[in-house]
Amino acid sequence: MKKDIRDIFFENIKSQFLKDKTMYILTNDADVYSLQSIKINKRFIDAGVAEQNLVNMAAGLGANNKKTLVYGFCTFLTFRCYEQLKFNIASHNANCKIIGVGPGFSFSNDGPTHHGIQDIQLFNLIPEFEIINISDNNLANIVSKNLFKIKGPVYVRLEKGVQNYNSNIIYNLNQGFQFTKKYKTSKKIIITTGYFCKIANEVSDKKKIDVLNLFRLKNFNHKKFINICSKYDEIVVYDENTEYGGILPIILNIFSKKKVKSKIKTLCIKDKQYFIYSDNREKILFKLKIDKKSLEKIF
């Protein structure tokens, strides 16, 4: 599928919206090409740049047995309305799906206000929220078609551009992770998520190292995950988020409970504020030493 990953996701959402009269779509003045034709629908609500009110409206609709999907830039739908997400959505276990567009440095030129490098942990701290980090077109198609089959509130991180590198992978949403590269004799593995799955795959082709895409970050199959990881001598956790803001704390917490003895290395962003602008995502990754060459050097 040579489409923008956002179009794949939202075209499926639009199809469901037109069929299901109990479904509402809400946004904070964010534009999505695939949804332009339904903006005149009464069940499409643009709240403007008012994220707290936006989430409150979604919560109210949910309290009246409506399905709600809220989309916008991931940083704006987390930090600006965190209290509303925690109490008005999560504490009522509302059937609300939050779609955070632009994770990581995908909107590199828009600066730190648009850089989603801590949002995963914000939602990880809210017990009722599930978290799904979409890496590629294939996964975007599967998640968008099955999103409302997941009960309760869900936070989905959605990339931009054509991410068509895992088209042959059979993803299992209940399992929550999947090998994207697997070699019979490899004793090393990269655990990654989102956009970095693409980079990890490229390094794997050169270094012959296994790659595991962890895309469901809470209710995945922990037992199988541990059994797989324990077989490796060396594990590298590779993430575009900060060391406390992404998948690293989630993985280390599971490993510590199950006493995984593999050697663990990490490659992610240091825990600090970054005020970086660039017209190219890869330039930022290079500056922060989390780019493709930095991953290759680990091996």
- Residue 1 pLDDT > 70, yes or no? no
Residue 211's DSSP bridge partners are: 181, 190
The average pLDDT across 84-109 equals 96
The string of pLDDT tens digits covering residues 212-271 is 999 999 999 999 999 999 999 999 999 999 999 999 999 999 999 888 889 999 999 999
The string of pLDDT tens digits covering residues 201-228 is 999 999 999 999 999 999 999 999 999 9
* pLDDT the model gives residue 166: 85
How far apart are alpha carbons 225 and 207 in whole angstroms?
Answer: 23
How far apart are alpha carbons 221 and 174 in whole angstroms?
Answer: 7
Report the number of secondary-structure helices (H) and strands (E) in the chain.
10, 11
The average pLDDT across 56-60 equals 97
Domains of the chain and any CATH numbers: 5-158 (3.40.50.970), 177-298 (3.40.50.920)
* pLDDT the model gives residue 106: 94
How far apart are alpha carbons 54 and 61 in whole angstroms?
Answer: 11
* pLDDT the model gives residue 167: 86
What percent of the chain is predicted at pLDDT more than 90?
A: 90
Kindly report which listed range (120-129, 158-167, 290-299) carries the lowest average pLDDT score. Answer: 158-167
* pLDDT the model gives residue 188: 97
Q: Contact at 8 Å (CB) between 254 and 225?
A: yes
DSSP label at residue 104: B
DSSP label at residue 82: H
The string of pLDDT tens digits covering residues 124-166 is 999 999 999 999 999 999 999 999 999 999 999 999 999 998 8
* pLDDT the model gives residue 115: 94
Kindly report which listed range (39-48, 196-205, 206-215, 271-280) carries the lowest average pLDDT score. Answer: 271-280
How far apart are alpha carbons 179 and 171 in whole angstroms?
Answer: 9
Secondary structure (3-state) at 284: helix
Give the number of other CB atoms < 10 A from CB of residue 43. Answer: 18
* pLDDT the model gives residue 259: 86
Secondary structure (3-state) at 199: helix
**pTM of model > 0.85:** yes
- Residue 57 pLDDT > 80, yes or no? yes
- Residue 279 pLDDT > 90, yes or no? no
How far apart are alpha carbons 74 and 299 in whole angstroms?
Answer: 32
Give the chain's mean pLDDT: 95
Place of tokens 């199959």: 221
Confidence band for 187, pLDDT divided at 50, 70 and 90: very high
